[in-house]
Amino acid sequence: MQPLFDLHTHTIASGHAYSTLKENIEEAARIGLKALGTSEHAERMPGTAHRMYFMNFKVIPRELNGVIIYNGIEANIYGEKGEIDVHPSIIDRLDYIIASMHLPCIENLGEAGNTKAILGAIENPKVTIIGHPDDSRLPIKMDEIAAAAAECHTALEVNNSSMHPLNFRENAKENILEMLDYAKKYKTNIILGTDSHICYEVGKFDRALEVLEESAFPEELVVNFEMDRLPLVLNKTE
Ligand SMILES: [Zn+2]
Ligand SMILES: [Zn+2]
């Protein structure tokens, strides 16, 4: 099956990505995605957009070139209880929140500490996706993460960029295979994200699809394979 949407994409507004929203949308339309989510890094990431960027989403049409546009954010988990850097003034303007650990924004808290931080984010009702929980530099107890995500209806991401040979995240593929095994056990929803930082990566899920196949992962747990599963990862209060 082919993924119908990509909710993890960045533009020049993130400060270390290279395409505009228009270029990302045009690429999404060209390759036949039904929906595109834009998810700039939240404010603790050096060089990213100011919170006013997220306050002005109203100017973006909901549909362009036949692609439905969703306006999200990739929040930084920055505290041991899973605190995220999404200011209350923007929280209701977002269609969805991906919460991720990034080393510029949090230090390695050790396996128990990292796990606790991610569990806090999973339990946050505003967070619908945990981004790239796949990096051995930030070890976690995958069993607990997958069980809690299933319980809280939070999706775990298979991040296509993490498995790029030049990516700095460590042992991503092995960690993702482990995550998929526990996701099968607990029936945790999985979402594929490209984490594109240039338009040419939008909607390219080659490595993510390969790892799903290697894991013989059940299609019904993959959010991207059906449009009617998309609301599972949109703002739960919408
Ligand atoms: Zn980034
Ligand atoms: Zn990230």
The Å distance, Cα 75 to ligand 1 centre, comes to 11
Please check whether residue 238 lies inside any domain of the structure: no
Please check whether residue 143 lies inside any domain of the structure: yes
- Angle at CA 21, nearest 5°, toward 201 and 69? 95
Nearest to 103 by CA among 77, 72, 123: 77
Please check whether residue 105 lies inside any domain of the structure: yes
- Angle at CA 218, nearest 5°, toward 216 and 221? 140
Please check whether residue 18 lies inside any domain of the structure: yes
pTM for the full predicted model: 0.97
* Percentage of the chain exceeding pLDDT 90: 97
The pLDDT tens digits for 216-225 are: 999 999 999 9
Q: Considering its fold, how many domains does the chain have in total?
A: 1
Please check whether residue 145 lies inside any domain of the structure: yes
- Give the pLDDT of residue 56: 97
CATH number at residue 196: 3.20.20.140
Ligand nearest to C-alpha 160: 2
The Å distance, Cα 102 to ligand 1 centre, comes to 9
The Å distance, Cα 131 to ligand 2 centre, comes to 6
The Å distance, Cα 184 to ligand 2 centre, comes to 24
- CA–CA gap between residue 55 and residue 76 (Å, rounded): 18
Please check whether residue 14 lies inside any domain of the structure: yes
Please check whether residue 200 lies inside any domain of the structure: yes
The pLDDT tens digits for 163-216 are: 999 999 999 999 999 999 999 999 999 999 999 999 999 999 999 999 999 999
Ligand nearest to C-alpha 196: 1
- Give the pLDDT of residue 236: 61
- Domain hosting residue 89, numbered range: 5-233
Average pLDDT over residues 66-93: 97
Instruction: Judge contact between 125 and 237, C-beta under 8 A.
Output: yes
Ligand nearest to C-alpha 17: 1
Please check whether residue 41 lies inside any domain of the structure: yes
